[in-house]
Structures are given as structure tokens and as C-alpha cells.
Amino acid sequence: MKTLFLSLTLLLAAPAFAQEAGHAHAPAALETSGAFIRATLPRAPVGGAYLTIVNSGPEDDRLLAVTSPVGAFAAIHEMAHADGVMSMRPLPEGLPIPAGETVSLKPGGYHIMIEGLTAPLVEGETLDLTLTFEKAGEIPVSFDILAINARSHPAAAAPAHEGGHGHD
């Protein structure tokens, strides 16, 4: 009788345990690509990081925070043009990553600002940052450190049209 009671209890409780476990360990529906950081001069106090985030899941998410091993802190920022003036502001509520959408962090737009650099960012090296999302949790991303004036990651660049010449 005890065995039957235990079996029924486990059988009835299993869906609840499975749902809880599935929620806590659900694979992230977020993918990142083209992650790069611009190299800095030796005593530069800040650095900019960029990447593309694709949310292929059914739920919106939000990039809440970023941690860096070489800065006092990192923040998510937005560059905006209004009335011919460019301004930059932090996004304390984070950056929405809508379901089924792609969000690009790139020079002149959304970006990650690493402030209080404790070491220069050297071209050719990599830097691992941890992105914290509201639903997906922490996701480590390796950023390639490119030239000081890099506009995009070479791997993310669109291929040139056959027989044509690309112009910027």
C-alpha cells in the first residue's frame, strides 16, 4: 500500500516538477553574432562593444546588464539624433529584445559602454563579457577586439555582389 501511495504521489507531482524544471532550465531562444569591441588607446577610460542579438523565441526578453573583467562597470547605452544633435544616454531599464526580432548594437546606435577601463583593449585579442537577460539569464559572449575605427565585425559584413565594387 505504501508503494502504491508513493507511486501515485510521484505520478501526480511529476508534471509540476517537470514544468518547474523546464522553466528553470529552458534553453535560451537568444543567439548572438558579430560581437566586437573597438580597440582603445593605452589610457582610454571607456570602450564600446557591439553585437547582434536574435530572439527566435515566442517571448520578449530584455538585456538588463553587462559585466566586464576590465572595467569598473558596463552599461547599455543609446545614441540618438534629435534636431541635428547627437546624444548618448544609458538605458537603466535595459534594452528590449522582442520575440521574433533582431536587435543590433552598433556604432551610432545601441551599444555597450565599458567605463573605467582597467586595461587597454588591444586589437587582435578577445574579451569575454557576460550579458544578463531578464528571461534567458546570463549568457557569456566572446568579443573580438578590432581596430579603433571598426564599424562592424568582418564576419557580419554582407558579401560583395559578384562583378561589382563595394563602396562605403
Task: Tell me the domain boundaries of the chain.
Answer: 30-152
30-152 falls under which CATH superfamily?
PCu(A)C copper chaperone (2.60.40.1890)
- pLDDT greater than 70 at residue 131: yes
pLDDT band for 157, please (50, 70, 90 cuts).
low
- The C-alpha atoms of residue 46 and residue 34 are separated, in whole angstroms, by 20
- Across the chain, mean pLDDT equals 83
- pLDDT greater than 50 at residue 166: no
pTM metric for this prediction: 0.76
Q: pLDDT at position 19, please? A: 37
- The C-alpha atoms of residue 150 and residue 152 are separated, in whole angstroms, by 6
The C-alpha torsion from 115 through 124 and 103 to 61, rounded to 10°, is -70
81 touches 88 (CB < 8 A): no
pLDDT higher at 17 or 74: 74
Q: pLDDT at position 80, please? A: 85
Write the DSSP string, 7-32: HHHHHHHHHHHHHHHHHHTPPP-EEE
146 touches 39 (CB < 8 A): yes
- The C-alpha atoms of residue 104 and residue 54 are separated, in whole angstroms, by 9
